[in-house]
Structure 1
């Protein structure tokens, strides 16, 4: 893929050779769960704007919290061209590493690897008053391009593999390379969050208010909510965005719908919390936010992250259009989904041209059956 032209996204054909037919129901979800990384990243970016109100030592403390990766250097010139229409595209990732605090929250063995089990493309329209968010199901079968990790180790291309294998193979550089190959769109930035940071951030905000239209009972995610309005603490919020068999059809697609609803609730909460009149809350939020995210090197300082976050302040929950990349369940394996190429092309074309995503791009696609279970 060159900077001058973008080929059609590479994905496996639905009918390439015989496939074993899946037996029985979809598998029971892994107890490790996933997190609403867009929610965390959006909040992290937003509260970092407030860091400018602190003293000099606070600036240096927060600046030292931020971990960044030089994605541009690692990916080189073989990428889609940058948009020249005033829009921006950000890939928001979440890795489920089981080391440190994340192991206590997510379960599993230490050093058991990491996966980007939640991924969202955030498209900021020119003027940064509206955004479209495209969730990429982790179980989507794709063709992963050749890529390299942060240590320079290279990995050959692979066909018909799960989307989240890109991060497991080569970390953030491979994940960004795969998304750009899939969509034909250059990612201007990337943000990555983790279990522990997400939970702390919700607690520092004082919780997030949501309404559930039906009870949610999921022992695996330690979540027990009656129908009604709740102010979720960090542990409850993490349980909500991790649950999959507590609602809908038990698939990752249903969980994505819950995550999208929680994102809107969290954005609304960050706009209501009174941190400017509370210096301690201001510092706690900024400290947690900068510890929570890993960014590309262009956002790797308080100043640059604050400038970026300042551009998000004009986007409200109502100004965000959230969709899931169009897929259908794989008839050979109900635990996997296949990309609907024609519909997906409508989304990529719209974003490239800084246009709204048409309803026809997602009409009739698999959804997960959890829409409306949680509302902001």
Structure 2
């Protein structure tokens, strides 16, 4: 086969002298080739450079793909919601088509590995289903300008709905007990269902982390600053076993690894489980400030360390079970400045059934849940835009005005008032209070007096519902349901489609425990959170924990 120009430099009888072409330095017409022209060394260098560059690019891309696949393989996932109750509905988008994002973060006390037993002690609990000792709801506003975190103390008595474990098929019946037991009744999907059942807030995702995961994450972050006002040593005392082992001198310290876990687990040295939540909130705020200050998202090495730790440490609900989805979620959270982040604890009061437990604090707890449902900022550094509650607002002339998207009577009634069948149920029971007797009968009689002669009370069931709602099963009854709500003065935002009912159903909630006129409630305003929510702003660097006297040294 003849040698072509493309073959020059790769074939021949021996090395060529500098400046020659492959055929002895002559061009096609027999004249001498120009020095440096034709197919000389420069062309060969360019060709080899391109080849090497191509291999580097392919190799880097291949390594990147393998690393991405490796991170994905680290991630463990589970079903988002395994509960049977449906009390939460997806929020209405704002004017820009955005909706909030709600993430439930669960800290597991699992001792089902050597590492977790070494870090958490309590070897006798190895093999038992883990409990959810730390539970926080992270709310990212629809406009991505603010965020709120609400903790529920582990010993809060609530209604846990029926749950079915997706791994084993085991069915757990509904129960009224402390909330940390929800994790042991089928997994994080049951805890999510419990929160939705309690709050009416639709929760998009869950994440769980155990003792070992906290240590890995703390090490990857490189340390977080915490502060104590006195020397602290959380250790066993006579008559009070346990303790995290945390031992610090007064002042500010950078904690990481096992010491970070000790800080997050400390309870006795602060004086209560409620104050443990405050210490956890301080840690999270400090962590966010640390990550923001280091700009870790532009530091490739640190970001890879954090990605490795996070994917190994977290278990997440299946719809966010890839590195890309977790990264996208992190990027959304990153946009919120620290002074627009508010950490809180659910307002609570002592449980009348058990002095060691608490229950939600009625109206104050409900106000927190309403602010989350309506996407009202917990801080006052922004505005109240984003309220999608559909509740009436006062206008300048004293009349009630409602957003166009939720204006009353958006569908015509299908029947005349006297032909609308209405079932009224009593939903006034709460975790801390018994149901008010005869409420369904009282409100059904109000409807009869207003011309809804087919209204009747359902005395066979007593429910727990924070807010009064009107439900309907199908689109053809929407107008009827809105007509009933209008007659009782119930906001149109409380009219919901639900497959749990067979006809128009009014459930009288804990917000209407007395009287025959529905109580008007002003919508919450930005920053107007209850005083007993123990709020901490993310930009507040002055926070420092008081140490309970017996644990000072």
Please indicate, yes or no, whether the TM-score normalized by the shorter chain is above 0.5: yes
Task: State whether residues 149 and 172 of structure 1, in contact with CA within 8 Å, keep that contact through their aligned partners in structure 2.
Answer: no
**Counterpart position of 1:104:** 118
Deviates more, 1:226-235 or 1:294-303: 226-235
Deviates more, 1:309-318 or 1:60-69: 309-318
1:194 Cα offset (Å): 1.2
**Counterpart position of 1:90:** 103
Per the alignment, in what secondary structure is the counterpart of residue 170 of structure 1? coil
**Counterpart position of 1:139:** 155
Task: State whether residues 345 and 533 of structure 2, in contact with CA within 8 Å, keep that contact through their aligned partners in structure 1.
Answer: no
1:363 Cα offset (Å): 2.3
CA distance in 2, matches of 1:118, 1:268: 21
- Tell me the TM-score normalised to structure 2 length: 0.54
Runs of 5+ in structure 1 lacking a partner? 1-51
1:82-140 deviations in Å (ceiling 9; x for gaps): 11232111111111110112111111222133101110111111221210111011101
**Counterpart position of 1:172:** 188
CA distance in 2, matches of 1:360, 1:268: 24
**Counterpart position of 2:407:** none
Of 81, 88, 112, which residue of structure 1 is paired with 2:89?
A: 81
CA distance in 2, matches of 1:364, 1:131: 19
1:175/1:209 CA distance change after superposition, 3 Å: same
CA distance in 2, matches of 1:97, 1:115: 7
Of 144, 148, 161, which residue of structure 2 is paired with 1:128?
A: 144
CA distance in 1, matches of 2:229, 2:334: 29
1:360 Cα offset (Å): 6.2
RMSD: 2.4
Runs of 5+ in structure 2 lacking a partner? 1-60, 94-98, 236-242, 379-523, 536-541, 547-553
1:76/1:145 CA distance change after superposition, 3 Å: closer
Instruction: Indicate yes or no: 2:531 matched with 1:363.
Output: yes
1:372 Cα offset (Å): 3.9
CA distance in 1, matches of 2:268, 2:86: 40
**Counterpart position of 2:269:** 246
Q: Equivalent residues in 2 for 1:43-54 (5 A)?
A: none
CA distance in 1, matches of 2:300, 2:341: 30
1:121-180 deviations in Å (ceiling 9; x for gaps): 111112212101110111011121111122232111112x11111112221121111110
Of 169, 175, 192, which residue of structure 2 is paired with 1:158?
A: 175
1:266-325 deviations in Å (ceiling 9; x for gaps): 111112336567654332221111111111111100111111111111123322111111
Of 535, 544, 549, which residue of structure 2 is paired with 1:373?
A: 544
Instruction: Indicate yes or no: 2:253 matched with 1:230.
Output: yes
Instruction: Indicate yes or no: 2:281 matched with 1:260.
Output: yes
- Tell me the TM-score normalised to structure 1 length: 0.78
Aligned residues: 316
Bigger Cα Rg: 2
